[in-house]
Amino acid sequence: MPAPISSDVRERVVAAYEAGEGGYGTIGKRFKVDPKTVRRWVKMRITKGHLAPAVHRGSVPPLISAADLPKIMRMVEIKSDLSAEMLAKQWNSETGNNVSRSTMVRALQRLGLTWKKKPFERPSRVEKTSRTPEPSFGPR
């Protein structure tokens, strides 16, 4: 994600608009920012009284912490053919924490585990026959 545009550039853009040096499009071309950005900054000055960029607050911590990953690894070592959904259900019953299948998939990815799905084959429309040779009824 790119860094926010500095406050001094924001101030110059809004000051140029407020001085009547042009509309959103003209000011945007002059300062090489999108006209919608100019409009948003002008509105921000009016409503909030400042032009400071918003602070990035970070993301939500994972429901399965790094300390819990060895437990998941042991679950996989014991029964390696469980699906992520089945692992999540087992995790929920053992720990009491309610996690979804996608949360379990992210935990498995953090462990570096991969799995290959079985290939899908449509069932044959023709009934399978035995491989025994057909009986012969004499010379042809």
pLDDT value, residue 55:
84
CA distance 36 to 77: 54
Give the chain's mean pLDDT.
85
pLDDT value, residue 139:
58
pLDDT value, residue 57:
80
Mean pLDDT, rounded, for 28-35: 95
First to last CA, the chain: 80
CA distance 104 to 101: 5
Amino acid at position 38, single letter: V
- Residues 41-93 have pLDDT tens digits of 999 999 999 999 888 788 888 899 999 999 999 998 888 778 889 999 999 99
Residues in the chain: 140
Helices (H), the chain: 7-18, 24-31, 35-48, 69-78, 84-95, 101-110
CB 91 within 8 A of CB 104: yes
CA distance 20 to 135: 100
Reduced to 3 states (helix: H, G, I; strand: E, B; else coil), residue 2 is coil
